Amino acid sequence: MRKITAKQFVRTQSTSLWRYVVDEAIWGSLFWVPTLVGVGLRYFFYGFLLKNDGFFYVDNNVRIKMFSNVILGKNAYLDYGCYLHACPSGIEIGENSVIMHNSVIHVFNFVGLPHASIKIGRGVFIGENSVIRGQGGVTIGNDCLISPKVSILAVNHSFASADLLIKDQPLDAKGIIIGDDVWVGGGATILDGVKIGRGSVIGAGSVVTKDIPEFSVAVGNPAKVVKSRKK
Ligand SMILES: CC(C)(COP(=O)(O)OP(=O)(O)OC[C@H]1O[C@@H](n2cnc3c(N)ncnc32)[C@H](O)[C@@H]1OP(=O)(O)O)[C@@H](O)C(=O)NCCC(=O)NCCS
């Protein structure tokens, strides 16, 4: 294992040592406060740390790292136990979008991947225990439904050399684009490089390895289009 220094640790938590101290002091004082009182306090104080365009709801036990790279739209809701790690590129959550319990929205890019970021549109629902990895860039359009336990993984490890450890080989991250009004069924996995056209439905447990055209219903592993929603 590579040794992690204190300087590297701070770099993974915030944009500077000063911001790290401020972010952690405010988060540590408020993350646990229950009820609407906690929601109100977090709106007021987190509003100094992140960007927002109106009232947002952050429930208790939500963990946010790299506050300064987070944008929350009006009425965005982060449910109990969510985890946002916007380092070093950003996470944007559109107005009226809901991120449910225990979901992980995670950019984590320290190797200069140019498109690393996660952008979630307006009116999107992300179900419980979903994981979004944004190293190659993830864009989710407006009004999408992402069911529980969905994995959206915009990154692969290269493994071309059998003589090197896989973890020592470069990352490959092309990005994932999900159009407006897409419903992804529970437990599905969306792999890097994939585009899902607007209005499509992905069956529960599917593994999406290739692009899915607009208004399709696609199921299975690997996901295949079984019908079109257009008559
Ligand atoms: C895909 C889904 C929406 C059904 O869509 P549909 O258009 O009604 O499709 P059908 O039920 O007619 O199924 C079409 C074919 O796909 C198959 N199929 C359906 N869902 C499938 C799935 N998740 N995985 C694999 N195959 C599936 C059916 O068995 C059927 O196969 P057949 O033609 O060989 O009989 C539904 O099966 C599904 O996966 N729903 C997700 C549920 C969920 O996640 N709920 C959480 C909400 S928050």
Catalytic center residues: 157
Quick check: CB of 186 below 6 Å from ligand 1? yes
Q: Is residue 138 part of a domain?
A: yes
d(CA 81, CA 135) in angstroms, rounded, equals 22
Residue (of 177, 185, 186) closest to 213 by Cα position: 177
Q: Which numbered atom of ligand 1 lies nearest the CA of 184?
A: 44
Domain span at residue 220 reads 6-228
Straight-line distance from the first to the last Cα atom of the chain, in angstroms, rounded to the nearest whole number: 55
Q: Is residue 129 part of a domain?
A: yes
d(CA 182, CA 148) in angstroms, rounded, equals 14
Q: Is residue 128 part of a domain?
A: yes
Global pTM reads: 0.96
Q: Give the domain CATH number at 175.
A: 2.160.10.10
Q: Is residue 95 part of a domain?
A: yes
Query: How much is the pLDDT for 139?
Result: 98
Q: Is residue 61 part of a domain?
A: yes
Query: How much is the pLDDT for 154?
Result: 97
Query: How much is the pLDDT for 1?
Result: 54
Indicate which residue's Cα is closest to atom 37 of ligand 1: 203
pLDDT beneath 50: ranges in the chain: none
Q: Phi-psi category of 165—alpha, beta or left, where left has phi over 0 and alpha has psi -120 to 50?
A: beta
Q: How many domains does the chain have?
A: 1
Query: How much is the pLDDT for 2?
Result: 64
d(CA 135, CA 115) in angstroms, rounded, equals 7
The β-bridge relationship of strands 131-133 and 151-153 is: parallel
Query: How much is the pLDDT for 13?
Result: 85
Q: Is residue 1 part of a domain?
A: no
